[in-house]
Amino acid sequence: MLHLPGQSYRLCDGRTRRGFLRAGFLGLSGLTLSDLLRVEASPSATPNASRRSIILIWQHGGPSQLETFDMKPTAPIEYRGPYEPIDSSLPGLQVSEKMPFHARIMHHTSVIRSFTHGNGDHWAAAHWILTGYLGATGNDRPARKPSACAITSHLLGPTRRGAPASVNFNDGGFGYHGASYLGVAHNPIRVGEFSYGNEAGRMPTAEASSFQLIDGMTSDRLGNRLSMTRQFDELRRQVDASGQHAGMDRMSQQAVDILLSGRTREAFDVSSESATTRDAYGPGWGEQALMARRLIEAGVRFVTLNTGYWDDHGNIKGALDDKLPRHDRAVGVLIADLAERGMLDDTLVVTAGEFGRTPRINPGAGRDHWPQAQSVLVAGGGTRPGQVIGATNDKAEYPTARPISPNDFTAIIYRSLGISPEHTINDHSGRPTKLLPGGTAPAELF
């Protein structure tokens, strides 16, 4: 995968992490052209009979349940937060006033209010939810297990030949959307640039240009800019200097072809959509959501959208005043569009992060990490709409009914796609390992 480094940002624990522009998924970590051809010839690369796909909207850093789907308007002010609830299209369910686009489509969705676990470490929690296994912490970050995204690529492949199995916008999730020991062939194609917010506390933005291939390159402009060889040589020097890899293989032209030609390339070009559709989605994350729908139509099985950094330890109102309306529009319009096109039953849409936020607002007017309760949105993919699963107490502190675990969460994805959690794959040592060590998709959701 070609990684073009971007600006460095500081995380909540003081560590820095590099944003990336990412294009392609081959060429590094020893994957050669011959490897690609073998992958394409393997059974796992053959499109599966299942028509189901998934769009996972990952809210990196942890979204607040109290400012989205589990509002507590009668709680004390230090708990209930800055927003008022509004009615939604699902009778009896209210959402934040900052989420009018969601309010219109909630009858297409179900909300899990009782998602819960006990790990407040960003890395450990994200790894657990995205892979089904614990295995990483802030002090020990490498992925230990392949993600559900990579498992889907490995077992199902794309829904149409000529498309990649998975695409990841904006690199959220601490790298745990990747394939680990399944190999780089099952990493998602990664495009866009992810920001974490800087030391001054400004929240990340997502401009439309962030989602164009290699800073807006077209197939024509690709030859007019620095050549791939020069870019790759520079990347080789950077990686060799970092000691991350002993060496790198050549960039495969077929990887470039997947991105810059055919259905997949066309899916990134939203100019063919009507002005009405483009205006409905809007710029930035909205354009990203439109691309996601187009990628699903082109045959991509698993698309991940990463909408910013939700780790709002301070000034949560200022942060959400900026971020929540953009997220709301992207997701709400996406679900409405999928439903109108008859695509929703075959496309599972899920929004989640690694944990929720502290019910009591802290002295900095923010909310801290709170894994005990989070709200998760689920739509389509064979799930039953119109449900509110589980409940929390009067301050949204912990579940009072139907707790749902990280493994249950991953089991929802697998069940929608027709994958058995009991299925085994061989780990890096050749030992058969279950996709999930436990967990069950809620029966009422299906």
* Residues 299-344 pLDDT 10s: 999 999 999 999 999 999 999 999 999 999 999 999 999 999 999 9
* Residue 20: its H or E element: strand 16-23
| Pairing mode of beta strands 85-87, 94-96 | antiparallel
19/179 Cα distance (integer angstroms): 19
Span 217-222, average pLDDT: 42
Neighbouring residues of 307: CB distance < 8 A, sequence distance ≥ 6: 57, 58, 59, 170, 172, 206, 285, 288, 323, 326, 327, 330, 331
Which pLDDT belongs to residue 291? 96
> Is the pLDDT score of 247 beyond 70?
no
Average pLDDT over the chain, rounded to an integer: 81
* Residues 130-160 pLDDT 10s: 999 998 898 888 899 999 999 999 999 999 8
Structure tokens at 271: 């100019």
> Is the pLDDT score of 184 beyond 90?
no
* Residues 6-17 pLDDT 10s: 333 344 655 443
309 contacts 259 by C-beta, under 8 angstroms:
no
115 contacts 62 by C-beta, under 8 angstroms:
no
Which pLDDT belongs to residue 74? 96
Helices 253-260, 33-41: crossing angle, 10 deg rounding = 60
Burial of 434 (C-beta count, 10 Å sphere; 0-12/13-18/19+): middle
Listed range (79-88, 195-204, 336-345, 428-437) with the worst mean pLDDT: 195-204
Span 33-51, average pLDDT: 50
| Domain of 68, in residue numbers | 2-445
Burial of 402 (C-beta count, 10 Å sphere; 0-12/13-18/19+): middle
Structure tokens at 386: 């119109």
Which pLDDT belongs to residue 135? 87
Instruction: Give the number of other Cβ atoms within 10 Å of residue 52's Cβ.
Output: 22
* CATH at residue 427: 3.40.720
Span 93-109, average pLDDT: 98
Say which residue, 420 or 162, is predicted with more confidence: 420
For 124, 343, 422, the CA distances from 440, given in Å and listed in that order, are 21, 25, 11
Instruction: Give the number of other Cβ atoms within 10 Å of residue 318's Cβ.
Output: 16
Span 61-78, average pLDDT: 97
In one-letter notation, the amino acid at residue 180 is S
Structure tokens at 117: 């676990």
> Is the pLDDT score of 5 beyond 60?
no
Q: Give the pLDDT band (50/70/90) at residue 277.
A: very high
184 contacts 28 by C-beta, under 8 angstroms:
yes
Count of domains observed in the chain:
1
201/313 Cα distance (integer angstroms): 10
Q: In 235-380, which ranges are E strands?
A: 302-306, 347-352, 356-357, 369-370, 374-379
* Residues 84-94 pLDDT 10s: 999 999 999 99
Which pLDDT belongs to residue 222? 37
Span 106-127, average pLDDT: 97
**pTM of the model as a whole:** 0.81
Q: Give the pLDDT band (50/70/90) at residue 259.
A: low
